[in-house]
Chains A and B, each alone.
Chain A
Amino acid sequence: MQNKDMDKQDTEILALLKDYPMPQAPTGFYDQALVRATHEGSRRQRNRWLMTGFGGAVAAGLVLWMVGGFFLTAPDLPVADPAIPSITMTLEEPRTINLVFASAERLDSAMLTVRLPSGVEMSGFPGQREVTWQTSLNAGKNFLPLKLIATSPVGGEVYATLTHDNRGRTFRLTVDVS
């Protein structure tokens, strides 16, 4: 490639980069962050995620459609799903599942709680049966990879509960261990 072309392209790249947009902080975010830091700092209450770390990168794992397009438009929870999805795991062998949440609208500050049976752990959270964190969902489909490890051959059911403004849904996944 000619140097002249490269120079021209570099100029275009710089122009694009200078133009690259940056959303502003939402109104009130700074004030809220200050209040949290000064009043609740020691309690480590965070703006978004209450628990940290989630297992694994997105692998070509099982995708579980946890919520339909009607997500959170129904008034209450939980709704028992007659067809509970299931997976079979190998003992001590991590497996990534992708939880998929379809939301009709953007949801800020939704709470997601994952409850695990005694023989299944979430990677990074050894021994924890319940993990809760706060998150936001975009309109459309959102997915979250969870890396699970079966620590006993018992298996059981994994529950994922998503709540927002006193509405929510609980979804179940049966884990069999081979």
Chain B
Amino acid sequence: MSTQQQQIAFEKLVRPHFDRLYRLAWRLTGQKAEAEDLFQELLIKAYGKLDDLVKIDEPGSWLSRIMYNLFIDERRRFARRRMHTVEEGEMSGDGLDGLPGSDNPAWNHERLERMQKLDSALSALSDEHRMIVLLHDTEGYKLTEIQELIGIPVGTVKSRLHRARARLREILAADGTFS
């Protein structure tokens, strides 16, 4: 294959998965800049493995696993190099920027407040618990997909999910989030 043919083949294989991969990067890192960096690193790595990629039946899962492994391998680095926003306190802020609104300002305010509390509660979870609860309950990953991605038994995924939700319930109940 010529270089141009390689580029075309690569794009054809990876582009259909971009949105899901971008969201995964976000869920893993929790920060826009890191998510974009992780996404970029994935593409660079995947392009270097184009020979393998063309033989894969499910490129989406394969790409997700590479992204997850990249994140785990370099988690310390990702955690270290963040430039934080001083005002962010307990919440990242970025994740709430795109919160769709309604015509009712009071409802919007209440919703934003609840989201901020959720954001804060999520940040209190361990990386493993936060990741699993977001992938399952927010992104809609199946338990088996998480098992495949993270490489732990379904039973462990389930118990972590259960513990993560219990911890969220505990935190949110303490700050009066529930109606």
Contact = CB atoms under 8 A, between A and B. Distances in A.
A98 to B, nearest CB: 9
A48 to B, nearest CB: 4
Interface stretch (A7-15, A87-95, A153-161): A7-15
A79 to B, nearest CB: 22
Nearest to A100: B86
Contacts of B99: 21
Interface stretch (A30-38, A70-78, A167-175): A30-38
Interface residues of B, number: 60
Contacts of B114: 16
A23 B80 contact: no
B97 to A, nearest CB: 6
Interface stretch (B39-47, B54-62, B149-157): B39-47
Interface residues of A, number: 52
B86 A143 contact: yes
A110 to B, nearest CB: 10
Given A25-B22, A36-B44, A100-B86, A135 B33 contact: yes
A14 B136 CA distance: 10
Contacts of A49: 33, 37, 81
B169 A38 contact: no
B36 A48 contact: yes
B118 A47 contact: no
B37 A46 contact: yes
Contacts of A9: 169, 172-173, 178
11 contacts: A9-B172, A17-B118, A19-B111, A29-B22, A33-B40, A38-B6, A42-B48, A46-B37, A49-B33, A141-B85, A141-B86
